[in-house]
Amino acid sequence: MVFVFSFYRKWNKNEDTQLLKNIASTSSIYMKTDLKKEAAEIFRKTLNRIKPEKLILQQLSLEGNHLRIKDDYIPLEKRQKVYVIGAGKATARLALGLEQVLGNRIKDGIVISHQSENPQTEFIQVFEGTHPKPDYKTLASSIELLDFIKRIPAGSMVITLFSGGASSLFEVPAGAIELSETRQIYDALLKSGAGIHEMNTVRKAMSLVKGGKTLQYLKECAILNVLISDVPGDYPEFIGSGPTVENTSTGNDALQILQKTALIPKTPESVIEVLSSQKNEIQHTNKVRNYLIGTSRICADMAASFAKEAGFNPKVREEAYDISASELVE
C-alpha cells in the first residue's frame, strides 16, 4: 500500500507533480542533496514516533479501575486480570508496550511475531513465525496459541494485538488443506496481482483461525481488538485477515477471486473442497470492540507535521493506494 504526501517551498504545480514522481520512483531520485537529507530526516522522525510500543503508550492507559483505549474507558473490576493474544510483524513491540500499561494486570498471554523480534516481555510469551508465507514454525506457534485461546475462561477480558503480517504468522489450515498447499496458494496470490483485500478474502476462507473463526473459542469473552492497519481503508476484518473480527466474506467470494486471477487450475482439490463447503454461519456471543491505533494515514499525517516543522508546506493525499509506486505515477 502507498500513502503519498508531497511537500514543497516554491515549486509550481508542474514542478510539484514532477517532485512527486521523483519521490515515488524506485529507479531514480533527482532531488538536491539537501532536500534528500531533509526528507530522510522527516522519514526517520516519523518512524521513531510511530514505533508500536509508543503507539500503545499514546493510546492506552490504566486510570484507576478503568482501561482507557483512545477515547473509550473500559471498567475493570478491582482485581480483574486480562488475557492477551495476537500476531503480526509489530505485535511483539505492541506486547512490550502493553506490559508497561497493564503490568501484572495481565494474567497470561501469547503473541506470534517474526524471527527478528526478541523483546524482553515479562507476562506475555512471544512465539516465532515467518512472513510472507507460513512455515512449520508458524504452524507450531499457531497451534500453541490456539490451544492457549481455547483455555481462556468464558467471560474473560481478552486484548488482542494484531498487525500486518498476521495472515502469515497465525495460520492453521482448515479441513484437509496441507500447509504446503497453503504456501502454494499464498505464493500464487502474491504473484497474481490480486489486491490485499482479495488475498485476505482467500486466506480467511482457507483458515481455521482467520475470518473471525477464532471468536468461536472465546465464548462470552469481551474482546478488545487493538490493531495496526496496513490495508487500504483500514477495515478491521482485513487486518491480518481478521482472526477476532466479524467476517463478511464467504468461501464463494474466495472462489470467485481465484477464478478472476486464473488460479483455479492451480488450486489443490483440498482447497476447492473447503471453499465450496464453507458456510459463514458461526454464531458469536462475544462483545467485540475494534481500536485502530496505527494506520498509514496516521503515519502520513505524522510525516506531514515534521515536514511543516522543517519549513515545508505539506499536502497529504486522501487516497490510500494498493499499488506499487511505479504504477502510481504512470
Is the peptide bond prior to 132 cis by the omega test (within 30 degrees of 0)? yes
What are the tens digits of pLDDT across the range 60-108? 999 989 999 999 999 998 888 999 999 999 999 999 999 999 999 999 9
Q: Does residue 109 surpass a pLDDT of 90?
A: yes
The yes-or-no verdict on residue 150 having pLDDT over 90 is yes
**Range in 37-46, 237-246, 284-293 the model is least confident about:** 37-46
pLDDT tens digits, 169-203: 999 999 999 999 999 999 999 999 899 999 999 99
Sheet of 106-114: strand order equals 124-129, 106-114, 82-87, 157-162, 222-228, 287-294
Task: Round the CA-based radius of gyration of the chain to a whole number and report it.
Answer: 21
pLDDT for the residue 329: 47
Secondary structure (H, E, C), the chain: CECCEEEECCCCHHHHHHHHHHHHCCCCCCCCHHHHHHHHHHHHHHHHHCCHHHHHHHHEEEECCEEEECCEEEECCCCCCEEEEEECCCHHHHHHHHHHHHHHHEEEEEEEEECCCCCCCCCEEEEEECCCCCCHHHHHHHHHHHHHHHCCCCCCEEEEEECCCHHHHCCCECCCCCHHHHHHHHHHHHHHCCCHHHHHHHHHHHECCCCCHHHHHCCCCEEEEEEECCCHHHCHHHHHHCCCCCCCCCHHHHHHHHHHCCCHHHCCHHHHHHHHHCCCCCCCCCEEEEEEEECHHHHHHHHHHHHHHCCCEEEECCCCECCCHHHHCC
Model's pTM, two decimal places?
Answer: 0.82
Calculate mean pLDDT across residues 230-241: 92
Mean pLDDT for the stretch of residues 212-236:
93
Please list, in sequence order, all residues whose beta carbon lies within 8 angstroms of the beta carbon of residue 139, skipping any fewer than 6 positions away.
171, 172, 179
Q: How many CB atoms lie within 10 A of CB 221?
A: 23
Whether residue 324 has pLDDT greater than 60: no
- What length does the chain have? 330
Cell of 308: 511543516
pLDDT at site 2 = 42
Please, are residues 65 and 241 in contact by the beta-carbon 8 Å criterion? no
Q: CA 87 → CA 158, 222, 280, 310, distances in Å?
A: 14, 18, 23, 36
Give dist(CA 201, CA 204) in Å, integer: 5
Average pLDDT estimate for 45-61: 86
Chain centroid to Cα 172, Å, comes to 18
**Residue 7 pLDDT class (50, 70, 90 cuts):** very low
Whether 256 has a pLDDT exceeding 90, the answer reads yes
C-alpha cell at 221: 469473552
Identify the residue whose cell numbers are 473447503. 274
